[in-house]
Amino acid sequence: MTSTIESPALTSSEVSVPHYRLFIDGEWVDTSEQYVIVNPATEETVATAAKGGIDQADAAVAAARRAFDQGIWRSLPPVRRAAVLEAVADALEARSEELAATATREGGAPLYLSMGLNAITPVSNLRYFAELARRYQFEAPGPVVGGIAHGGVIRREPIGVCAAIVPWNFPLALAVWKIGPALAAGNSVVLKTDEKTPIGALELARELQAAGLPDGVFNVVTGDGEVVGAHLAAHPDVNKIGFTGSSEVGRKVAEAAGRSNLKRVTLELGGKGPNIVLADADMQMAVDGAIWGFLMHAGQACESGTRLLLPSSVHDRFVERLVDRLATVRIGDPLDPTSNLGPLISAAQRDRVLRYVELARVEGATVACGGRVPAGTDKGYWVEPTVLTDVTNDMRVAREEIFGPVLCVLRYDTVDEAIEIANDSDFGLAAGVWSSNVDAALDVARRLEAGSVWINDFHMANENYPFGGFKQSGVGRELGVNALDAYTEAKSIQISMEPDIQKRAYGLALSTPAPAWGD
């Protein structure tokens, strides 16, 4: 164990912003190259961070492998591992305001959202995984099969070295979704952060070290995804990959994982979520729900409700009210508590979103509102809340993930038609249904091809419920008891209690008795 707990950040009289180092084998490690972390609202430098490469990724995997093979962490009783996770949760909770402000500066989410998803949610999730570790059946008696008289034990054992690759939109929360169950199960972890938002993960490393996690059990590297992320996906000493990102990259991760050592994968990928308003819905609630569904974090959430399906009978009035409500959204400094909407993560992402708006016009859609850079924003990466009407489900804007504050509105005449439109997608991550009749909404929800369906709500990520996608939205599930299943391997140990009975049952009895052992 390292005797003193350092900070991941370095400052000096010559440096006006903090510089963050990598965390490998219990040590803070610098590199010759660095990233500049930019505030997407102001374009000011927030910090710099060491830029990792293949050498740092290999060192982190080697440290994780040594730690796992030594067995100090995985041999601890689950209650001891749970205590470490809870200690980290307490430490993060005490720093929640600081962590939320930092997340807003590096990622651009409004402060209220950063407090929820990059401060409070990770704390809640860590406590959930600690509680789950205490009650999870890592070893349990197997069934006794009377006909052939044998019983046994069913074990869930840690997989080994787990690589977690997380995106920039909710970096700490999505990291904890992988780190929490991996550590609770006794694995070692290498976390690869996105280069735009590494700070929360590095602060998490500090708290894990302070809580007594053995060196090498948890490591953090940065690096370009196509270099470091791809290297981890193909690394022969990595046994499991947990990845959140685009479907395109997810397919590459799965291919590399299968080609190297058939490592286990959990992939939480893209989405194009349908948000269905039924004719009997509370329309004011549904208007606000539609806004929340597509506009949270400026639409930079893979489970966003970006296809709004409206009955023809209410379409025009609903869109009119939707546009009026969007006019009240406060766009501005995400550190200002009165701001509702922050910027996109980068200039490249802003330009990508604006190109999709222009494509929508070319395809025949109508821009009912937005579609531009807000007036007066000479700094930062901003796009107005945008509503596209006259959209049909064969348009690219209705089929491809835009990842910005853009809502596609589609008409339907019958519920069956709405379900057909909703399911006509390569994606299947999340969906919403709005109705005053819960039974009717449940009937629709059961028919939707999506891993999560919310009724009269959207974006509700409850750690007790599994989260993941159908179709090209992913493989496996995070959260819920499924999370620990995903970071363990099942082993059956079967005990023969009456071997002669089993031999006769399978027709293997020998006609001549065996001689005594000593003869």
Residue-wise pLDDT for 302-343, tens only, equals 999 999 999 999 999 999 999 999 999 999 999 999 999 999
- pLDDT tens per residue, range 40-93: 999 999 999 999 999 999 999 999 999 999 999 999 999 999 999 999 999 999
pLDDT-derived band of residue 485, with 50, 70 and 90 as boundaries? very high
- What would the mean pLDDT of 272-286 be, rounded to a whole number? 98
**In the chain, where are the structural domains located?**
23-269+473-492, 274-461
Q: Which residue has the higher pLDDT, 219 or 515?
A: 219
In our burial notation (b when 16+ CB lie closer than 10 A, e otherwise), range 452-470 reads: bbbbbebbebebeebbbbb
Cβ partners under 8 Å of residue 109, min gap 6: 103, 117, 118, 169, 170, 297, 334, 342
* 505 has pLDDT over 70: no
Q: Name the residue with tokens 């080609």.
A: 259
Of all residues in the chain, the percent with pLDDT exceeding 70 is 94
* 13 has pLDDT over 60: no
| pLDDT given for residue 328 in this prediction | 96
Average pLDDT, the chain: 94
* 500 has pLDDT over 70: no
Three-state helix/strand/coil letters over 245-291? CCHHHHHHHHHHHHHHCCCEEEEECCCCCEEEECCCCCHHHHHHHHH
Catalytic residues: 268, 302
| pLDDT given for residue 175 in this prediction | 97
Rounded Cα–Cα distance for residues 307 and 309 (Å): 6
pLDDT-derived band of residue 147, with 50, 70 and 90 as boundaries? low
In our burial notation (b when 16+ CB lie closer than 10 A, e otherwise), range 376-388 reads: eeeebbbbbbbbb
- What would the mean pLDDT of 96-107 be, rounded to a whole number? 96
Rounded Cα–Cα distance for residues 221 and 194 (Å): 9
The Cα-based distances of 252 to 249, 257, 258, 271, 470 in angstroms read: 5, 8, 10, 17, 18
Q: How buried is 124 (Cβ within 10 angstroms: 0-12 exposed, 13-18 middle, 19+ buried)?
A: middle
Measured CA angle at 111 (ends 295, 194), to 5 deg: 75
Phi first, then psi: give them for residue 333, nearest 5 degrees.
-45, 115
CATH superfamily of 274-461: Aldehyde Dehydrogenase; Chain A, domain 2 (3.40.309.10)
Least confident of 170-184, 480-494, 503-517: 503-517
Nearest to 271 by CA among 297, 296, 299: 299
What is 179-245 written as a DSSP string?
A: HHHHHHHT-EEEEE--TTS-HHHHHHHHHHHHTTPPTTSEEEE---IIIIIHHHHH-TT--EEEEES
- What would the mean pLDDT of 236-244 be, rounded to a whole number? 98
pLDDT-derived band of residue 3, with 50, 70 and 90 as boundaries? very low
CATH topology of domain 23-269+473-492: Aldehyde Dehydrogenase; Chain A, domain 1 (3.40.605)
